[in-house]
Structure 1
């Protein structure tokens, strides 16, 4: 799962330095994936999604409002509360690395919580491991998530509330929220790989 994808990512670097973000760096060190003489240069977390494809769309009809640059990620997360009829869609090579096709982010109309919606590229057999991770990591008695396997697409349709994830704060920027989602999903993939 993670290991072959991260090994492949490392092979894309020429020379003796590999530039990785914190999560991948820790994973590489833990699993001793670097060949002799190679060193890791840690990349700034803020730079993770600089080359992402970002759309703002209307929730009701999914009409495109704008294709945004990475500068949009510096907007406060509360942008979504001010613009409740919109959602943000983000595609990134980093989400591909962890088996996620893309992540949409919106505010729930009824509860006012921040919701992440995504497709998780995992086989159906991982159902128990995924649910166990979510029950352990999501906080509160009313922690909510939706996890449904689509045999047609071969992936899990997965929605969860950021408000239920330990460490979440509404004071984040949109970019920090996406980084927060990435960290949560990276840990999920590590958990699955270890089981």
Structure 2
């Protein structure tokens, strides 16, 4: 799916302090995802209204320091009662070994803090661009939203 990301905000940030290193133009989304392997101290924060269809406002991409796995983090705006649906969906749709997904409901924010290993999402490659990774995770999460809405 091609998303309209003209309204996008992109920030390169330091993992340790969350300090913004630089704000990037939309053209940064054409950068290969493996940029993160070369800049392990950074995460990429991307915010867009286009993400509302997957029940979030923003995505953060990073490489996990310990497992060297590409991760996407986001706040998933669905009710706590869908815990078993989320768990079942992730178990069914994340593939491979060493799956380090986590999802924790934050009562304070009223949303799920989700950390997904991109490496375990069907269609992932390290050579894909941020734009392609966004489309991949958008489709993955939109199908989860559809599964929840079917209940």
**Which bracket does the TM-score occupy, shorter chain normalised?**
over 0.9
Partner residue of 1:53?
A: 9
Q: Distance in 2 between matches of 1:58 and 1:140?
A: 29
- Give the CA deviation at 1:175: 1.1
Q: What value does the CA root-mean-square deviation take over the aligned residues?
A: 1.2
Q: Confirm or deny that 1:151 pairs with 2:113.
A: no
- Number of equivalences: 151
Alignment gaps of 5+ in structure 2 = none
Q: Secondary structure at the match of 2:67?
A: coil
1:138 equivalenced with 2:94 (yes/no): yes
Q: Does the 8 Å CA contact 1:144/1:164 hold for their aligned counterparts?
A: no
Which of 115-124 and 135-144 deviates more?
135-144
Match of 2:29 in 1: 73
Q: Which has the higher contact order (CA 8 A, sep 6+)?
A: 2
Contact 2:11 2:46 in 1 (8 A): yes
Report the TM-score when normalising by structure 1: 0.74
Give the aligned partner of residue 115 of structure 1. 71
Q: Which runs of 4+ in 1 moved over 3 A?
A: none
Of the candidates 130, 135, 138, which is equivalent to residue 179 of structure 1? 135
Q: Gapped runs of 5+ residues in structure 1?
A: 1-21, 23-44
